[in-house]
Every structure is written in structure tokens, then in C-alpha cells.
Amino acid sequence: MKIKIGNRQLIIWVNRTKDHKEYIWNNIYLLRQEIIEDVLSYNRSGVIPIKTLKHKADLVKKYSQRLKLLEM
């Protein structure tokens, strides 16, 4: 990306893949934490949210596959 300030041009290299990898990893980590919290809340409430657990597990799988493709 080039930015022109007055007579000078600044060239900034943006590493989007690195930022995207970090974003995907943070989402995977957050989803794993939410899954653990949902399972631990089962002890308190007695009801386990199967649909949300399956959905979050599918998202973790999807994001993990994307992350694996980005690392190739």
C-alpha cells in the first residue's frame, strides 16, 4: 500500500495472511472456550445445548481447515 504525504511516498507492506491467521486462531480459541463453558454449565442447569455445541464444533472444524490451508 502506498501513502503519499506531501512530496514523499511511504510504502507500507501489509501482511494480511498473518493477520488473518491470528484472527482465525483467536476465533477457534474463543469457540473452544465457549464449548467448555456450555459443557460445564450442564452441571448447574442439567440441560446441555446440543444444537449450539454441534454448531460451534462445526465452526471450529471449518476454521481449523482454513488455518491449515493458509499455513501451506
Total of domains in the chain: 1
21 found inside a domain: yes
Residue 45 belongs to what domain range? 15-71
Give per-residue pLDDT as tens, 19-55: 888 889 999 999 999 999 988 888 777 888 889 999 9
Q: What pLDDT score does 4 carry?
A: 64
Q: What's 46's DSSP letter?
A: S
9 found inside a domain: no
User: Are residues 63 and 24 in contact, defined by beta-carbon separation less than 8 angstroms?
Assistant: yes
Among residues 66, 54, 60, the alpha carbon closest in space to that of 27 is found at 60
58 found inside a domain: yes
Task: Please determine, for residue 10, whether its predicted confidence score (pLDDT) is greater than 90.
Answer: no
6 found inside a domain: no
- Report the alpha-carbon distance of residue 6 to residue 26 in Å, rounded: 39
- Report the alpha-carbon distance of residue 31 to residue 37 in Å, rounded: 10
66 found inside a domain: yes
23 found inside a domain: yes
8 found inside a domain: no
10 found inside a domain: no
User: Are residues 31 and 44 in contact, defined by beta-carbon separation less than 8 angstroms?
Assistant: no
